[in-house]
Amino acid sequence: MSIISKRLSKIKPSMTVGINVKANALRAEGRDVLVLAAGEPDFNTPENIRKAAYKAIESGQTRYVPGKGTPDLQKAIQEKFIRDNDLHYELDEIMVGVGGKHIIYNAMMATLNPEDEVIIPSPYWVSYPDIVLLAEGKPVIVECLESQNFKITPDQLEKNITPKTKWLMLNSPSNPTGSVYSKKELEELASVLLNYPNVLIMSDDIYEKIIYDDIEFSTLASLEPKLKKRCLTLNGVSKSYCMTGWRLGYCGAPKDIISAMNKIQSQSNSSTSSISMAASVEALNGPQSFIIEHNKRFINRRDMIVSKLNNIEGISCNIPKGAFYVYPNCEGIIGCKTNKGKEIKNDEDFMNYLLDSEGVAGVHGEAFGLSPYFRLSYATSEKIIEEACSRIERACKALI
Ligand SMILES: Cc1ncc(COP(=O)(O)O)c(C=O)c1O
């Protein structure tokens, strides 16, 4: 009899985490590896936020805190939703978790029964299907092609809703494609959802503030107030405030879902760290101008990486509107042979080839549910982007 639970046989470890581990191991062996696989800004946590954390430690905010968030943090989140999203949540409709990932995990554990279906548009963030499987639900993957800017259409949504559908996962700006749903596109999805009152919506807004080209961010619960009682609006400090290591995510959702999620949290991790909560109060209430500065850097890098990739034969890259990833198409590379005679059969082979031949680490599209693509993160220096693109070009030239 296996000592490991059967539950785990259905899921795989996070591939993005795995690739970073592999790249770091190669580095430790002395290889020159450029890692464009990380899902985090390369900027430091702003000083005012770091200082708020020191202050919390020195003032003794080091004890157990409520899992749903300290009163200060709950209030800061409530005000953030009003200020940025015109969403009014009562305090018992708000909760805090150990990162956005943990909020999703708690929500799925709290709501899914075996075989409940969760519609996940692909390409998706790698963890969605596995979290659903861990909670014994059934991911229903809906392929959203490049020709539709990797976004689910109202027609696709409607076709995939069944009596068993429990959730729709929506992520905008998207990881891995950087696509952003416009207000009009969300309104069209909302009009389908209004016909299916049993479907809940997970609106993953974690990249809300990393958005470019004057595009206006919209979220379903605020756009269609009739859907608010079925939406979980997810956000967190990881990406916008450069706080990935602090592990703090939060959400607004109907009271019964929040209360069920709190029950799980109370019997598992209790809460995220009291220090992270104090720092996040400062993140949400403090100056926001550095986000504009960061976005300016990201736009420069985006433009640079997109134009360089589009100059490489075999690769084409559309222009992402948010987040800090590109999701280039590598169809032109599939079927080519390396100088050792190995055929590049898929995007995973291509990523392995890039890592082995040129020391460039990206993530293959299959990990996000749509091939043949790969994801590169441009949350790294201009110098590294430049060097990585030159190496990718050299690697592709050697193939074609
Ligand atoms: C789309 C998306 N949602 C949620 C998360 C979770 O972020 P965290 O757990 O760091 O708050 C991530 C992180 O990469 C993400 O890309």
* 18-58 pLDDT per residue, tens: 787 888 888 889 999 999 988 899 999 999 999 999 999 99
Q: Which residues contact 241 (CB under 8 A, 6 or more apart)?
A: 45, 46, 49, 280, 283, 291
Task: Dig out the tokens for 122 from the structure.
Answer: 């692909």
Cα-Cα-Cα-Cα dihedral sign, residues 206, 291, 179, 395:
negative
Q: Residue 261: pLDDT band by 50, 70, 90 thresholds? A: very high
Q: What is the pLDDT of residue 309?
A: 98
**Contact by Cβ (8 Å): 201, 232:** yes
Cα 11 to averaged position of ligand 1 atoms, centre (Å): 18
> Has residue 366 got a pLDDT over 90?
yes
> Has residue 13 got a pLDDT over 80?
no
Residue labelled with tokens 């549910």:
369
* 12 closest CA partner among 139, 202, 150: 139
Contacts 24+ apart (CB under 8 A), 60-67: 61/274, 61/275, 61/278, 62/274, 62/275, 63/274, 64/270, 64/271, 64/274, 65/271, 65/274, 65/277, 66/271, 67/95, 67/96, 67/262, 67/265, 67/266, 67/269, 67/270, 67/271
Rounded-to-integer distance, Cα 358 and Cα 342, Å: 16
Q: What is the pLDDT of residue 281?
A: 98
> Has residue 17 got a pLDDT over 80?
no
Mean pLDDT of 98-111: 98
CB atoms within 10 A of CB 147: 6
> Has residue 68 got a pLDDT over 80?
yes
Cα 17 to averaged position of ligand 1 atoms, centre (Å): 12
The angle formed by the CA atoms of residues 134, 4 and 261, to the nearest 5 degrees, is 30
> Does residue 99's CB lie within 6 angstroms of at least one atom of ligand 1?
yes
> Does residue 371's CB lie within 6 angstroms of at least one atom of ligand 1?
no
Task: Dig out the tokens for 144 from the structure.
Answer: 């959203």
Choosing from 206, 248, 377 the residue with most ligand 1 atoms within 8 A of its CB, the one to mutate for a pocket test is 206
Q: What is the pLDDT of residue 122?
A: 98
> Does residue 372's CB lie within 6 angstroms of at least one atom of ligand 1?
no
* 235 closest CA partner among 125, 96, 128: 96
**Contact by Cβ (8 Å): 10, 349:** no
Phi, psi of 119 (to 5 degrees): -80, 120
**Contact by Cβ (8 Å): 337, 320:** no
> Has residue 276 got a pLDDT over 80?
yes
> Does residue 100's CB lie within 6 angstroms of at least one atom of ligand 1?
yes
pLDDT digits (tens, 9 = 90+) for 117-156: 999 999 999 999 999 999 999 999 999 999 999 999 999 9
pTM, rounded to two decimals: 0.96
* CA-to-CA separations, 177 to 224, 228, 375, in angstroms, rounded: 25, 26, 8
**Contact by Cβ (8 Å): 231, 221:** yes
Query: Which amino acid residue places its CA nearest to atom 7 of ligand 1?
Result: 100
Can you give the length of the chain in residues?
400
Q: Residue 277: pLDDT band by 50, 70, 90 thresholds? A: very high
* 138 closest CA partner among 175, 159, 113, 158: 113
Q: What is the pLDDT of residue 288?
A: 97
> Does residue 176's CB lie within 6 angstroms of at least one atom of ligand 1?
no
Q: What percent of the chain has pLDDT over 90?
A: 90
Q: What is the mean pLDDT of the chain?
A: 96
ω into residue 197 within 30 of 0, thus cis? no
> Does residue 325's CB lie within 6 angstroms of at least one atom of ligand 1?
no
Segments of the chain assigned E as strands: 34-35, 94-97, 117-122, 138-143, 165-171, 200-204, 231-236, 249-252, 325-326, 360-361, 363-364, 374-377
Task: Dig out the tokens for 143 from the structure.
Answer: 């392929």
> Has residue 14 got a pLDDT over 80?
no
